Structure 1
Amino acid sequence: MTITLLGARLCAGLLAGVYLAFAVGVMPALRRLDDVAFTTIMNRINVVIVNPVFMLVFLGAPALAVAVGAMLRTPTAIVAGVLGLVTLLVTIVANVPLNDRLATGGARVDFEAPWVAWNVVRTATGIGSLVCLLLVRAPAA
């Protein structure tokens, strides 16, 4: 259990950090660029980020949070798992389709505001999952 909880905390922290970095650094920096530069850079980021390290963290964070919730069955652990899943679902249902539309010629004006808003949601749920995981106590050995 201790290894699972440690892994869940690590992955949740890394993933929340990625989303926070986009919220406070990447998107504000891109906001100042013209449409062509914005679209080119965002599309490149969306290609490069799909790599084994990111995917391990991206899928590992919710999987491990759910595992902790299922193993401990405490309210805090269960909420951590639910928030981890919500973070994943927001990305799959909202951010990825927006990325795909931008990549296939979509307009920045239709992409930027909703993508940023959904990123704020997944940042908040990701941080919430992390906080819950940090509050969870591992059972005594």
Structure 2
Amino acid sequence: MTMTHSGLLAEDVLDAHRAPPTLGVVSLIIATVTTGLLAGVFYAYACSVMIGLGKFDDKTFVEVMNKINVVIVNPVFMLSFLGSLAFSILASVFYLRSDLRPVLIWIAVAAALNLLSLIITSGFNVPLNNNLATATDAQGLVDFAALRKDFETPWLTGNIARALANTGALTALCWALVQHGRSGR
């Protein structure tokens, strides 16, 4: 053991140099939390919101779903929706070093799954939402039964797919935290 001029052991200095910056750990924790929140939103839709809406007539279903689709686009939801991917990517940057690869691999898996969820949402659920919103802008008679028929089952399928993607991402981020803890850093 070698002492440095400040009284620290040389191994302590080397370990501190190898550890990811505090911002890396913080970004990993925030990625985990935001991903968990997003998985929870999609889970809640699958096991309660859509089941409850399914009990209503076609007109009420369409009108309430349209209102939900408007109010959900808010800063709190967007923090988890975009933050899950952004903080996963940010965390991965701090774990790029070769000695931190066991953590990085799981963060990368989570980032890929968070991206998949974003793609499903943007490419599948949002277009269905936009089509359903035509009832709000329509002049005259609206075929609520047809709108609902074209929306409900496909939207539920997309929602379950993105819920699974985000749940997988959450699992990967939790495992990244375990790997971080095992690394002794």
5+ residue gaps, structure 1: none
Residue 140 of structure 1: CA displacement? 4.7
SS in 1 for 2:73: coil
Q: Is the 8 A contact 1:7 1:64 kept in 2?
A: yes
Which of 47, 54, 64 is 1:41 aligned to? 64
2:80 aligned with 1:50, yes or no? Answer: no
Letter in 2 for 1:87: S
Deviations along 1:43-69, one digit per CA (max 9) or x if unpaired, are 000000011111111100111122223
Which of 61, 66, 70 is 2:84 aligned to? 61
Q: Tell me how far apart the structure 2 counterparts of residues 133 and 97 of structure 1 sit (CA, whole Å).
A: 29
Matches within 5 A, 1:1-141: 1-73=24-96, 74-105=104-135, 107-136=147-176, 137-138=179-180, 140-141=184-185
Aligned to 2:99: none
Deviations along 1:85-123, one digit per CA (max 9) or x if unpaired, are 101111011000000000013711000000000000000
Runs of 4+ in 1 over 2 A off after TM superposition: 66-75, 137-141
Deviations along 1:59-86, one digit per CA (max 9) or x if unpaired, are 0011112222343253222111100110
Q: Is the 8 A contact 2:25 2:91 kept in 1?
A: no
The two structures have a TM-score, normalised by structure 1, of 0.94
Q: Is the 8 A contact 2:35 2:170 kept in 1?
A: yes
Q: Tell me how far apart the structure 2 counterparts of residues 4 and 140 of structure 1 sit (CA, whole Å).
A: 18
Question: What RMSD, in angstroms, separates the aligned Cα atoms of the two structures?
Answer: 1.4
Residue 32 of structure 1: CA displacement? 1.2
Structure with bigger gyration radius = 2
- Identity of counterpart residues, as a percentage? 42
5+ residue gaps, structure 2: 1-23, 97-103, 136-145
Q: Is the 8 A contact 1:43 1:103 kept in 2?
A: yes
